[in-house]
Amino acid sequence: MQPAAKMQIVAIDLLRFGCAALVMLYHFAPLASFHGTAGALSTEAPLWFGWIGVQLFFVISGYVIACSAVDADAGSFLRRRILRLAPAAWFCASFTAVVLLMTGAVPAMTVGIRWLEALSFWPTTWPIDGSYWTLSVELAFYLLVAGVLRLAGGSPRRIEGVGIVLGAASLALWAAAFASGTPTVPILASLPLRVSQLPYGAFFSLGISLWAIRPSGATLRRFVFASLVSVGCLAEISVDVARSASEHGGVPYQWVPYAIFAGGVAMIAGAGWLQPGIARLGETRLATIGRMTYPLYLLHHVAGLGLILFLIAAGVSSGVAVALISVLMLALSWYVTVRLEPRLRRVMAAWIDSLSRRHGPGRDSRRSASLPIG
């Protein structure tokens, strides 16, 4: 199989933005019928399945990281990952900290500690924003890939091997849990297991498998493995469905997250065929929309909810408050993506290069579509 060309995959850019929007609506929807301090959050859950966007993030991350790791060395791979991960995350964590201090929802000392944890990407049970839990999972995946690059090189076979090992380990975890009758929801809440990637490894593995099959690597063995690792993905999704049903006292249409996941996977698998048609919408525009995913994902949850509640307390109706803050989150994400992050990345790149005594331009010219990291 020939390595996949390193290119901007606009179908994935469109999908990742859709996933981020779905996650945002999932978090904002309960506030739509909230009426100030005398009201209550809606017990209904019309978008209870919005968390499925995160699982699709992990699949896309496996796919695109496999593309970018082929023939790369560990140092340049990690450098690109740091430059994609850190600048926007540091700004978003700082913005969230300011909102928390402004609203007084969390003690200042706690905000400071969680802010420092976010800046250092320290895995924690209570991050400054609930969405940040995925960063520790992503970072562990990046370190695993970097370790393979360092020890064994970046051949397509080695990268595919990462997916096979990770997928097999994840399948073993879920098989053991279901076979033994172990409560499965605590598995997702376990910080050590989360950092180990085992609960979510099947998603990264599926992404790598889809990459391995494209464009000329389709074999029966690869299709069988992709099918098997999909079982691990469905096992994790079933746990989240059960958790949602427990939290809401039952949820309608439990097949919806499975259908969304299947549609997203099909879009990833068919990204090459979809590329020409979707690219007509404007590759540059779609690339920008895709990169907006990362700051939108990190900004919307705690900061967005805090600002919505602030507006409601000031007398703005809940529906208007949700709409206004949704627009604000999109506008701020665009600003971070187009204006702020490139400047921060250049400064950070120069600093990294000075530390490593490697001077020279253009070491991070390739755009990244890894998810949820932009």
Tokens linked to 117: 């944890």
> Average pLDDT, stretch 241-256?
91
Q: For residue 234, which phi and psi values (nearest 5 degrees)? A: -65, -30
* CB 194, CB 188: distance < 8 Å: yes
Please tell me which residue, 305 or 5, carries the higher pLDDT value. Answer: 305
pLDDT in tens, 25-58: 999 988 876 655 444 445 556 789 999 999 999 9
Whole-angstrom distance, CA of residue 261 vs CA of residue 258: 5
pLDDT confidence tier of residue 248, bands split at 50, 70 and 90: confident
Taking 70 as the threshold, does the pLDDT of residue 224 lie above it? Answer: yes
Calculate helix-pair angle for 256-269, 10-28, nearest 10 degrees: 160
Q: Which residue has the tokens 């009426």?
A: 35
DSSP track, 8-23: --HHHHHHHHHHHHHH
Top-ranked range on mean pLDDT: pick from 43-57, 181-195, 257-271 = 257-271
Taking 80 as the threshold, does the pLDDT of residue 3 lie above it? Answer: no
Calculate helix-pair angle for 271-279, 10-28, nearest 10 degrees: 90
Task: Look at residue 35 in the predicted model and tell me its pLDDT.
Answer: 54
> Average pLDDT, stretch 80-102?
95
Task: Look at residue 1 in the predicted model and tell me its pLDDT.
Answer: 41
Task: Look at residue 82 in the predicted model and tell me its pLDDT.
Answer: 93
**What's the pTM?**
0.91
- CA 183, 186, 191, 197 torsion-angle sign: positive
Task: Look at residue 304 in the predicted model and tell me its pLDDT.
Answer: 95
The contacts of residue 347 (CB under 8 Å, 6+ apart) are none
Indicate the residue type of 313: A
Taking 60 as the threshold, does the pLDDT of residue 88 lie above it? Answer: yes
The contacts of residue 167 (CB under 8 Å, 6+ apart) are 201, 202, 204, 205, 206, 208, 209, 225, 228, 229, 232
Other CB atoms within 10 Å distance of the CB of residue 61: 26
Whole-angstrom distance, CA of residue 291 vs CA of residue 338: 9
Whole-angstrom distance, CA of residue 300 vs CA of residue 132: 11
> Average pLDDT, stretch 306-315?
92
pLDDT in tens, 11-33: 999 999 999 999 999 999 888 76
* CB 178, CB 184: distance < 8 Å: yes
- CA 83, 87, 88, 93 torsion-angle sign: positive
Q: b/e per residue, 3-35, with b = 16+ CB within 10 A? A: ebeeebbbbbbbbbbbbbbbbbbbbbbbbbebe
Tokens linked to 58: 């992990």
pLDDT confidence tier of residue 249, bands split at 50, 70 and 90: confident
Other CB atoms within 10 Å distance of the CB of residue 58: 26
Residue ranges per domain, the chain?
10-33+46-353
How many angstroms separate the Cα of 21 from the Cα of each of 17, 77, 144, 354?
Answer: 6, 28, 29, 38
- How long a stretch of residues is the chain? 374
* CB 201, CB 169: distance < 8 Å: yes
Whole-angstrom distance, CA of residue 2 vs CA of residue 9: 17
Taking 60 as the threshold, does the pLDDT of residue 363 lie above it? Answer: no
SS3 content of the chain, % helix, strand, coil (to 5): 75, 0, 25
Whole-angstrom distance, CA of residue 298 vs CA of residue 311: 20
* CB 79, CB 133: distance < 8 Å: no
How many angstroms separate the Cα of 147 from the Cα of each of 17, 75, 194?
Answer: 30, 10, 19
pLDDT confidence tier of residue 368, bands split at 50, 70 and 90: very low
Task: Look at residue 366 in the predicted model and tell me its pLDDT.
Answer: 45
> Average pLDDT, stretch 5-11?
70
Task: Look at residue 214 in the predicted model and tell me its pLDDT.
Answer: 80
Q: For residue 316, which phi and psi values (nearest 5 degrees)? A: -80, 140
Query: Which DSSP state fits 366?
Result: S
Task: Look at residue 289 in the predicted model and tell me its pLDDT.
Answer: 95
> Average pLDDT, stretch 304-309?
93
Task: Look at residue 2 in the predicted model and tell me its pLDDT.
Answer: 40
pLDDT confidence tier of residue 357, bands split at 50, 70 and 90: low
